């Protein structure tokens, strides 16, 4: 158990809908990262927050947005969902803002039908 | 540009030794990490190399050669539980120190 929690574990929704994924980092970690992993693919970095501020942006679509709250938990919002958005979404956390050692949550499996 | 290459699949026998390579093409390299991911599971951190040489952690070792833009993960005394995907990830100075991930190597272990 990495100490990072993600909810929900599974999510099934229809095209065009909007969903929110939630992540709580390990105690003491200030950075939260979001990744997307499609079936049998590598990890695509989406976005990073550090202590409430956006730190870095990767290949995140404009339909996606995220934020980190004062208690350091983070939410990833996915809107106007398409079939291609079906994937595993991982949240990871680390102590610092540029850490090579990240702790991953169990992931949220999103299925868009 | 920033790109990583690693083999898509490697097969080995239980009890043997296997090496998973990772090559990168970029300037501003900062360090190389390795992560393990079992099917359906989350990636877990294995090792990090910032300097040339070998880092050993139990049955796993990781090597880096900055001059060759190359690293590898060495797994010894393979066990069936080592069957997983292994990702190399590189930190670059010009990517705001974000990790750039390889596509992963699926390690298949046969009895």
Which tokens in the block code for residue A13? 């929704």
Q: Is the pLDDT of residue B97 over 80?
A: no
Q: Which residue of B has its CA nearest to A43?
A: B101
Inter-CA distances, A14 with A22, A64, A80, Å:
19, 16, 9
Strand partners for B57: B60
Inter-CA distances, B72 with A52, B52, B53, B81, Å:
36, 12, 11, 20
pLDDT score for B26: 66
Q: Which residue of A has its CA nearest to B104?
A: A42
Contact B91 A41 (CB under 8 A): no
Q: Is the pLDDT of residue B15 over 90?
A: yes
Q: How far is B47 from chain A (nearest CA, A)?
A: 8
pLDDT score for B84: 97
Q: How far is B100 from chain A (nearest CA, A)?
A: 8
pLDDT score for B95: 65
Stretches where chain A sits below pLDDT 50 are: none
Contact B45 A103 (CB under 8 A): yes
**CB < 8 Å to A45, chain B:** 98-101
pLDDT score for B32: 93
Contact B107, B82 (CB under 8 A): yes
Q: How far is A1 from chain B (nearest CA, A)?
A: 10
pLDDT score for A59: 82
- Tell me, letter by letter, the H, E, C secondary structure of A25-78: CCCCCCEEEEEEECCCCCCEEEEEEECCEEEEECCCCCCEEEEECCCCCEEEEE
**CB < 8 Å to A91, chain B:** none
CA angle A41, A15, A39 (to 5 degrees): 10
The predicted model gives B4-17 an average pLDDT of 96
**CB < 8 Å to B41, chain A:** 106
Put simply, the chain B residues between 31 and 90 with a CB less than 8 A from any chain A CB are 31, 33, 41-45, 48, 87, 89
């Amino acid at each position: 158990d990495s100490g990072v929690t993600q909810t929900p574990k599974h999510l099934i929704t229809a095209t065009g809908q909007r969903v929110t994924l939630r992540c709580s980092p390990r105690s003491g970690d200030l950075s939260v990262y979001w990744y997307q992993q499609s079936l049998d693919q590598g990890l695509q970095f989406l976005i990073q927050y550090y202590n409430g501020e956006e730190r870095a942006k990767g290949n995140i679509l404009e339909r996606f947005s995220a934020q980190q709250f004062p208690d350091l938990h983070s939410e990833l919002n996915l809107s106007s969902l398409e079939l291609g958005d079906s994937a595993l979404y991982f949240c990871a956390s680390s102590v610092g803002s540029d850490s090579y050692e990240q702790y991953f949550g169990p992931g949220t499996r999103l299925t868009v039908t | 540009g920033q790109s990583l290459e690693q083999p898509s699949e490697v097969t080995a026998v239980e009890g043997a030794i296997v090496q998973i390579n990772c090559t990168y093409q970029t300037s501003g390299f900062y360090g190389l990490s390795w992560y393990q991911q079992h099917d359906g599971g989350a990636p877990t951190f294995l090792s990090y190399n910032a300097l040339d040489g070998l880092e050993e952690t139990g049955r796993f070792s990781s090597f880096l050669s900055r001059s060759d833009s190359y690293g590898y993960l060495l797994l010894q005394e393979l066990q069936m539980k080592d069957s997983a995907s292994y990702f190399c990830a590189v930190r670059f100075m010009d990517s705001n120190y974000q990790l750039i991930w390889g596509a992963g190597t699926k390690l298949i272990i046969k009895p």
